Amino acid sequence: MPSLRNGPGMAATPDQPAPGRRRFLFLQGPISPFFAEVAAGLRALGHDAWRINLCLGDRLFWQGPGAVDFRGRLAEWPHFLEGFYACHGITDLVLLGEQRPYHKPAIALARARDIGVTVTDFGYLRPDWVTLERDGMGAESRFPRDPEGIRALAARCPPPDLREHHWDRFATQARWDVLFHLASSLPFSFPHYESFLLHAPVPAYLATGLRLLLRKRETQAAAETLKRLTALGVPLYLFAMQMETDYSIRAYSRFPDMDSAIAKTVASFARHAPPEARLMVKVHPLDPGLKSWARRVRRIALQHGVEGRVAYLGGALPMEQVIDRCRGTVTVNSTVGVKAIAMGCATLPLGQAIYDVPGLAWQGGLDRFWGEAPPPEPTLAEDFIRALAASLHVRGCYYTRPGLDVAVAGAVRRLHLGVLNEPEA
């Protein structure tokens, strides 16, 4: 069971007088004490905070007052929620994952009632940043999508400190994740809960455990592959995979799964990339391994006649090492695209991504990418990172202290002051 204690956010001092008492409703968030501690910090500043538990896992990670259980069916959820909004005078909705089955109707009802919506998740910047954004991320983001808007916003932002200050512990994240999902799969207490997971938790955890046992060997093999391809002195390209459980794949792209995105990329590479070029397909380091991606990548490459020109990178090779050797990076809408842009690598998102902006990402289509895409404009890329850091992020992490304390304090401060999608004064 995670511990809940008074972090800095719970004793936050406002930077200016409170803009008025507000009533926050928290739905599902990070599998961490983050939401419970943010709520406690907001109460300490005179606001009200409630939580609706949708499953037993939600209940385990909310310690404190204001919690209500919803045990009905998903079809009954909008009616229940509308009554809750009205009864408690909710002014702000806070959640993670705006595309989850319970969150989509909650957001639609909130917008109809002029309730502010705040979405959090791991940062667009990694590793020790947390996103705190108005309305949604990705395609739902309000962040400027034109160079002029980005430059204007960056002009009001301080330069970011991109050094790593806080470190999350994967073991803690994994332990809390298992606790949450196994508890939520139990049939009692919340008999009608519909999980947002694509895969049943037990098979996914068993497969993930096997991948972790093999990670060191797979990472070494990937490093050797990268070294061999680099020695060829030919153009290298990267396709950065995402986890199929990532809602941004289903909600903000045309692809139902990663297989179809890989197949589209490999087919274009086979037809249009220089014959000496090589494509590396890198798996997400936390992919559960329910699919044998090495075999799938080989089969797709064979189908398109480029089995000798497409390589699979397993394990957890640092992304910076791969991007640094590449002429271009293709992904659906992963935050790897942000890293590639920051490193000056030509980038193409196949889905709807916050960085799909002229001058940052290639706008000429996949087929022309291999031979024509230039690196991002350096000054625009610098302004993009500056604006992104200052307007959509707080520093910190979800799973270990003191990073959790820092993230809680930053979130409390921004929510209290109502400063979202803008740099703090």
Q: What integer pLDDT is reported at residue 2 of this predicted model?
A: 53
Tell me the pLDDT band of 364, cut-offs 50, 70 and 90: very high
For the ranges 158-172, 219-233, 260-274, which has the lowest average pLDDT?
158-172
CA angle, residues 407, 282, 238, in degrees to nearest 5: 100
* Lowest-pLDDT range of 129-133, 191-195, 245-249: 245-249
| Predicted pLDDT of residue 12 | 38
Which pLDDT belongs to residue 385? 98
Instruction: Return the pLDDT at 250.
Output: 83
Average pLDDT of span 406-418: 97
Return residue ranges of the chain for CATH 3.40.50. 8-128+159-172+396-416, 215-383
- Indicate whether 209 pLDDT > 90: no
Say whether pLDDT at 399 is over 50.
Answer: yes
pLDDT over 90 for what percent of the chain? Answer: 84
Express each pLDDT in 114-167 by its tens digit: 999 999 999 999 999 999 999 999 889 999 999 999 999 999 999 999 999 999
- What is the mean predicted confidence (pLDDT) over 292-305? 97
Question: Domain 8-128+159-172+396-416 class?
Answer: alpha beta
Architecture of domain 215-383: 3-Layer(aba) Sandwich (3.40)
Query: What pLDDT shows up at residue 40?
Result: 97
